[in-house]
Structure 1
Amino acid sequence: MRSHTMNTAVTLCAAALLAAGMATASAAPAPPPAADAGQQQAGHPVLVDCLWHPQEHPADFMIACGDGNSRLSSLHWSHWDSNSAVGKGFNVVNDCNPYCAVGKFHSYPVVVRLDHPQPWKKHPQLQHYTRMSLVYTNGKPDGFARVVTYPLWN
């Protein structure tokens, strides 16, 4: 009988915790709606993020969408037009030593250049940058060249 009482108590506690978690999640304020792609300025390409949101002048940008081991932070843009964009910030990279789950993140100052705008497949009325180049200005991750160029997703 004691085992049955214990199982019932554990089940009730688990149900209460689950209900409390659901109530907390449903009571949380909804995130602001993503900017409508149609509201972007005509002629100014966007940078498409990992969640397929168009961005102009983002302060942060995830490069490694799959694992989050490389991102840009503290971005300040000095130029953004119909052909290219240029900014400065930091590339925060996991050294994955001895493996990524226990690796340490290191920040490297970079100059970011976006270029090669093309129509965005999701919203053909918008142009999006299709190439990103990073120029490491003071140190760089092991195995990286001083200038690294990435194709950007469409």
Structure 2
Amino acid sequence: MGGQSVRTVIALCAAGLLAAGTGTASAAPAASPANAHPAHAVQRPKGRPVLVDCFFKPQTRPDAFILACGDGNSRLSSLHWSQWNDRSAVAKGLNFVNDCKPYCAAGRFHSYPVIVRLDRPEPWKKHPHTQRFTRLSLVFPAARPDGYQRTETYALWD
């Protein structure tokens, strides 16, 4: 894994840890009466899955998305969605990545064509009746940032 990928993973992990520490009891689902749903009934979240952004806002078919919440050094832009259903979503767009040379504050952003795939929907802890995508994959069909593989896969925050 290259330096930029490591920085991106660290930023995503830090954002996830920060978010986990800021939860409140009000985010927990309310208890339901014992007779409201039989024990064997499974309540499936309603609606299409969402993409949760850095500010914990649900997004559907966003035209842009920040991948590196901690520093903004990797972001998606010009997203055009060809699919968004109960299992996955697919878009084409650009990944703008800071080369961090000689260091990130002085670095330059470079754009790379990318195919974005979202999948593995699960209930969102903050809103248990809402499905959210839990995995994002980037496929670079041509050039890609130094240290990146042709396909990069990230676990998304909750």
Query: TM-score normalised to the size of structure 2?
Result: 0.71
C-alpha separation in 1, matches of 2:46 and 2:69: 27
Report sequence identity in percent.
64
Q: What displacement does 1:137 show?
A: 1.3
4+ aligned runs moved over 4 Å, structure 1: none
| Amino acid corresponding to residue 66 of structure 1 in structure 2 | G
* Greater C-alpha Rg: 1
Question: Aligned to 2:78, what secondary structure does the other structure show?
Answer: strand
Q: Does 1:52 align with 2:31?
A: no
C-alpha separation in 2, matches of 1:111 and 1:67: 22
Question: Aligned to 1:116, what secondary structure does the other structure show?
Answer: strand
Q: Does 1:69 align with 2:45?
A: no
Q: Does 1:94 align with 2:135?
A: no
Deviations 1:69-96 (A, max 9, x none): 0000000000000000000000000000
Q: What displacement does 1:43 show?
A: 2.8
Number of aligned residue pairs: 114
More helix by share: 1
Deviations 1:91-132 (A, max 9, x none): 000000110000000000000000000000000000000000
Give the corresponding residue for 2:114: 110
Q: What displacement does 1:138 show?
A: 1.6
Relative contact order: is structure 1 or structure 2 higher (C-alpha 8 Å, sep ≥ 6)? 2
Question: Aligned to 2:70, what secondary structure does the other structure show?
Answer: coil
Query: TM-score normalised to the size of structure 1?
Result: 0.73
C-alpha separation in 2, matches of 1:45 and 1:59: 16
| Structure 1 unmatched ranges of 5 or more | 1-40
Of 146, 151, 154, 2:155 maps to 151
Give the corresponding residue for 2:141: 137
Q: How do 1:71-86 residues align onto structure 2 when only pairs under 5 Å count?
A: 71-86=75-90
| Structure 2 unmatched ranges of 5 or more | 1-44
C-alpha separation in 2, matches of 1:72 and 1:99: 21
C-alpha separation in 1, matches of 2:46 and 2:92: 24
Question: Aligned to 1:140, what secondary structure does the other structure show?
Answer: coil
